Chain A
Amino acid sequence: MLQAVTHFWKQLGRCVQTALYVLLSFSFTAGAAEFSLNIADIAAPDFSARGIALSLPENGSADLRIAELHVRQRGLRNVSLHCASFALSTVSMSCHGGSLAQLPGMTLEFDYRFATGSWQVSAALRNVPGKQLAIFLPAAMPQFNQGELSGMLRISGEASGVAAMAADMQLADMGFSDASGLHAAEKLRGTVKFAAARKAARWNWQGNIAWQSGELFWQPLYLRGEHRISASGSLDGASLKVERAIIDLPEAGRVQFAALWDMKRGVLAECKARGDNLALGKLFADYARPYLDKGALAESSLYGHADMDWQYRDGATQALHLVLRGAGIADAERRFALLGVNSEIDWQADAPRTANIAFAGGALLGVPLGSGQWAVEMRGMEFGVAQGVLPVLDGELELRDFRLHREGAAWHWQFAASLSQVSMEQFSQAAGWSKMLGTLAGSIPRVSYDGDAINVDGALLFNMFDGSVAATQLKLADPFGRAPRLSGNLSMRELDLDLLTRTFSFGNMQGRIDVDVNNLELQNWQPARFDARLSSSAGNYPRKISQKAVQNISALGGAGAVAAIQRSYLRFFENFGYERIGWSCALRNGVCAMGGVDNGNGGAYAIVRGGGIPAITVMGYNRSVSWDELITRLKRVTQGNMQAVVK
């Protein structure tokens, strides 16, 4: 564009100079009141003009008309430049008070020296509607569609090309949009100042943008006014250098940076950025979150403040110095939170470092976590914690050999841990489950995440309801997706029925049971399939079952027994003895195929086999029941509704 402008001046200058001589030769003899000159076409790469007519009335003004003007594929017809005062001599040509018919509100001045080829153009804009600028801008750029522009624009050069330019513009309610609407702005108000000067092949520039109000959407960023940027640097054929830039981000803080953009390769070659006391919440929400895909981090909020010093070179971060003050992260659904983080992190790409990270607390799946301090070893993109303690309610999770590293695009992690003495009562309340009694303790041999699934090696062991729970072959696929799939086997031994039934207000039972759940598969935390079997544990222990529990079991297994008890002498007894309890359910396609202590005869099977005095046997008659229906019934009876409705 600038070369084209220079070329135009050169060509026009030559023509006018020729015309001048013609004029000087003929003016006396002709004695005409007006001189006019038609110039043949001017053509150059990226630039052409046809039908150029210059007329010089006697009052000292001038009119230049160009029938067709093409600059870089932009076509303009009937360009008409009027100079209120046009001066032409053997050394120079100048225009004052110039105006373009296409741009009312703009005053043009220009000056051209024939001997040196130096020229200068300046334009003063006064409330020029943005829409009128459209014809001067490349079609691929977003087009102005509202507002007005005022200010000064100066370009000067010599025969070799443009040497300097300066702009000082005020935007009043300007708006623009591209065809897709993905790069658009409305009601922009502010000032733009820019100046650049060329020395040989190198441009030195400085600019300043004070954006007061309005809104901008530049996919995916959406920003509002009150941003300020001032920057200076240089530009040569190979690179764009920002020597120093200061950006004021509203409510987030001030960031300073210097950068080198390699124009040939189209990459950021070097960057240093720093900011003090940056508000992490606003910084993340406005400038980082829009770039994140859906996922846990994209739905998270950050808190607190940070000092940051970032050094980037050769395609990678070389060093990052972070001072966190009261920082935190929490996801929208409070599945995960870590708050009150204070730390000074001095990360180096090529040198091992240790960071002491102290945190005030947090939450995991609704369970509150206490404060702690971890020493994190950093070795490039590998992070490790040899040993860390995480308080969980009234107990603690002791983490060992935590390792986090990156393979390709995915983060991989693994750890081993042991959980000591967490009160089940507090845990179940925090997790929003029924109130459970007892304590939760256990060991987690090795948990690892490979970017796709979380795997637990060995057996995950817990103590619950005075018995033991072992989970094996646990695998959680797509853990952070919409429908996580959990698979594995559960083996529970010698659970205390008394604790269990009191927890779920099922009606009291005494004794111990073993539960095996094999081929378990949960989709989105809902059971999709399993083979479950519940049976009395081996050994000697008191075996008692209350009348209420009998009624509830009957209600679950099928109709019949409830009424039978109420009719018989058995209603006088609060508790009964039993010999064995057994129940099984194979869940497939939403249907639970049930069985009892043994396979039974025909349709019926025993869920409780009587023994002792008074003894009772509870039979089940339904061999298959919808899982949803079973859960609904279970909820009814555990909510203390004695009158279970049995269909």
Chain B
Amino acid sequence: MNAVLKFLVALVALTAALNVFAAADLEVNTPGVNAIKQSMQARHAQLAGHYNSGAVGLTADGLIALRDAGAVPLAQRQAVNALVAAENNDRNALYAEIANVNGHPEWQAEIRSTFAQRWIQRAQPGWWVQSGGAWRQK
């Protein structure tokens, strides 16, 4: 009886926790979030070619990474490094900002993982994405 009770309590707690996070509005629209999104949109044109070539891939933690520098001419490698760093700065800021706007800074990790899944789902065929620690091509 006791065990059943414990199980029920755990189940209720778990669903409550899920419900709490489910309330996070990922489409918040504040000047801060907009500035980050605009900055990311402007950068996407520069990054798209590197996603296509496989030089840059999408990681499982909602960021991007330089996975094959050899696909980039020497003269542009630092520029691509800088693009990747800037994009990751923006992505980290976006997750933090959305969590803040929702009034729950502690939701950042869940927001990040939701976005990670979204980015990977929306990745175009041929792009490289990370799953289970290894790179695979979509």
Contact = CB atoms under 8 A, between A and B. Distances in A.
A336 interface: no
Contacts of A216: 74
A482 B36 contact: yes
A216 B32 CA distance: 39
A632 interface: no
A297 B34 CA distance: 25
Given A184-B74, A222-B75, A524 B31 contact: yes
A181 B78 contact: no
A523 B81 contact: no
Interface in B66-90: 68-70, 72, 74-75, 77-78, 81-82, 85-86, 89-90
A482 B74 CA distance: 29
A483 interface: yes
A220 interface: yes
Contacts of A482: 35-36, 39, 89-90, 93
B78 A485 contact: no
Contacts of A312: none
Nearest to A175: B74
Contacts of A220: 78, 81
Contacts of A184: 69-70, 74, 77
A182 B70 CA distance: 8
A182 B75 contact: no
Contacts of B31: 483, 522-524, 526-528
B114 interface: no
Nearest to A180: B69
Contacts of B69: 180-182, 184
B54 to A, nearest CB: 12
Interface string B34-66: 111001000000000000000000000000000
Given A180-B69, A216-B74, A524 B32 contact: yes
Nearest to B68: A181
Contacts of B85: 293-294
Interface string A209-233: 0000001110111100000000000
Contact of A219 (B68, B78, B89, B93): B78
Given A294-B85, A294-B86, A482-B90, A181 B77 contact: yes
A217 B78 contact: yes
A219 B77 contact: yes
Contacts of A293: 85
A221 B79 CA distance: 11
A293 B34 CA distance: 23
B89 A590 contact: no
B32 A217 contact: no
A491 B78 CA distance: 48
Nearest to B97: A483
Contact of B70 (A177, A523, A526): A177
Interface in B4-47: 29-32, 34-36, 39
Contact of B29 (A294, A527, A590): A590
A148 interface: no
A483 B36 contact: yes
| Residue among B30, B31, B36 with the highest chain A CB neighbour number at 10 A | B31
A181 B86 CA distance: 20
B30 A217 contact: no
| Residue among A215, A216, A217, A221 with the highest chain B CB neighbour number at 10 A | A217
Nearest to B93: A482
B116 to A, nearest CB: 21
A448 to B, nearest CB: 24
A36 to B, nearest CB: 47
Interface string B95-131: 0000000000000000000000000000000000000
A458 interface: no
A185 interface: yes
Contact of A528 (B30, B36, B39, B89): B30
B74 A222 contact: yes
Contacts of A352: none
A452 to B, nearest CB: 15
A186 interface: yes
Contact of B32 (A180, A181, A221, A523): A523
Contacts of A181: 68-70, 72, 77
Interface in A94-130: none
Interface in A140-188: 177, 180-182, 184-186
Contacts of A294: 82, 85-86, 89
A182 B68 CA distance: 10
B78 A483 contact: no
A305 B12 CA distance: 71
Contact of B35 (A186, A221, A524, A527): A524
B84 to A, nearest CB: 12
A539 B70 CA distance: 75
A286 B100 CA distance: 39
A542 interface: no
A294 B43 CA distance: 14
A432 interface: no
| Residue among B32, B36, B89, B90 with the highest chain A CB neighbour number at 10 A | B32
Nearest to B28: A589
A57 interface: no
Contacts of B74: 184-186, 215-217, 222
B88 to A, nearest CB: 11
A590 B72 CA distance: 43
Contacts of A215: 74-75
A561 B83 CA distance: 53
A289 to B, nearest CB: 10
Contacts of B90: 482
B42 to A, nearest CB: 11
B78 A523 contact: no
Contacts of B34: 524, 526
A177 B71 CA distance: 12
5 closest cross-chain pairs (CB), A and B: A181-B69, A523-B31, A524-B35, A526-B31, A483-B35
Interface of A: 177, 180-182, 184-186, 215-217, 219-222, 290, 293-294, 482-483, 485, 522-524, 526-528, 590
Interface of B: 29-32, 34-36, 39, 68-70, 72, 74-75, 77-78, 81-82, 85-86, 89-90, 93
Given A184-B70, A524-B31, 15 more contacts: A182-B69, A184-B69, A186-B74, A215-B75, A217-B78, A219-B78, A220-B78, A222-B78, A294-B85, A482-B35, A482-B90, A482-B93, A483-B35, A527-B31, A590-B29
25 contacts: A177-B70, A182-B77, A184-B70, A184-B77, A186-B74, A215-B74, A215-B75, A216-B74, A217-B75, A219-B77, A219-B81, A220-B78, A221-B78, A222-B74, A222-B75, A293-B85, A294-B89, A482-B89, A483-B32, A483-B35, A483-B36, A483-B93, A523-B32, A526-B31, A526-B34
